[in-house]
Structure 1
């Protein structure tokens, strides 16, 4: 039997993976469960793993796989319109794929070709790039639809604590609005493009890195244009 906090964490991970295509960071889990430190999250994740509800994939940042759900969450899912639960393997394909654990439901493997629109800065913003450099195949399970998505190659390490490394490819859903806490592609003052956490502070917008070496940039909202929200990540090795 799971504790209330373990169920809350499992439900939060499931919803964020369905929404963003990547599992939440430990910091995001800590905030969502209103815990004071990440050590509590580590204990909860370990307990869920030991009980066979999740699996941590080795050598990958923010790589969790949901193996199964408790009956309480399965029933809630059956009652919702989007009831079907499908565990998602986060990040890129493996050269030595392992068989899923016993009882795991199948993972979607259909691929979609997306245009790679150059590089995006996860560091100091770089000049905006809007030309297609090449195309890349991404799992269809990352996308909410087959349209209005594109990919960018990450340059820099300012989002490293969010599991986004230099050289990774991020999958972006094209949209012009965001909620506080989203990771977005932001166009700054019409010519600089950057990948950062989006946080609204009144009439100002904070573009926050996931690396303490970088300062948060706070700009008037008319200087920041959201060009898309992160929905998936493909790891580069």
Structure 2
């Protein structure tokens, strides 16, 4: 985005915000912007953010410490929480103020979202603890797909896990297969699967964020 209408300090502030979002997956606070720009007054920071908003570079949400959004967003997808690559975790929240830069608009067009991986049950598929998996929402899948499987009981959302899906018709069951030779698969009778489990989406990409050493 061209920054011709912005002052020099506003250009540097905007570039810091863009870099911070790329690096951290969320916008900076006013205090963090002030530290970077050597501005002691948060009111002074707020003035320049107001000018960036008036000039159409950002949009702000009142009373939120990280309530800055870019009007020309990065090629990112929202992070909706964590997913277990191990024992199922509590279901991820509906929304959070983070995003992961994926370098292409294609995932956003498909309404994809990101989940942060917790655990190493998929490590032999090169999905490690701390990675982000990009999920394409869908309720069906093919054998061998890596999916988000959601367990519900009595209509209440319970826990979700990241595994390869296999339907074993000969055994009348579903197998959720880890990619870790030290772990056992989860076997679910087909009747229980149909009653208590759903597919929330399929993994279409893996993002690993590397932090360079200081």
Query: Is the structural similarity TM-score above 0.5?
Result: yes
Runs of at least 5 residues in structure 2 that lack an aligned partner in the other structure: 1-22, 24-72
Contact 2:143 2:165 in 1 (8 A): yes
Partner residue in 1 for 2:104:
140
Instruction: Find 1:234's aligned residue among 191, 207, 210.
Output: 207
Q: How many residues were matched structurally?
A: 129
* Partner SS for 1:164: coil
Q: Is the 8 A contact 2:151 2:159 kept in 1?
A: yes
Q: Match for 1:200 among 167, 170, 176?
A: 167
Match of 2:148? 185
Deviations 1:58-85 (A, max 9, x none): xxxxxxxxxxxxxxxxxxxxxxxxxxxx
Instruction: Check the 8 A contact 2:117/2:131 in 1, yes or no.
Output: yes
- When normalised by structure 2's length, the TM-score is 0.55
The secondary structure found in structure 2 opposite 1:193 is strand
Deviation at 1:215, TM superposition (A): 1.1
Which structure's CA Rg is the greater one? 2
CA contact (8 A) 1:142 1:232 kept: no
Question: Where does structure 1 differ by over 4 angstroms across 4 or more consecutive aligned residues?
Answer: none
CA distance in 1: counterparts of 2:130 and 2:187, whole angstroms: 26
5+ residue gaps, structure 1, are: 1-92, 94-109
Question: Could you tell me how far 1:224 is from its partner in structure 2?
Answer: 2.1
What secondary structure does 2:202 align onto?
A: strand
Rounded Cα–Cα distance in structure 2 between residues aligned with 1:153 and 1:161: 17
Deviation at 1:171, TM superposition (A): 0.4
- Superposition RMSD on alpha carbons, in Å? 2.3
For residue 85 of structure 2, what is the aligned residue in structure 1?
122
TM (norm. structure 1) is 0.50
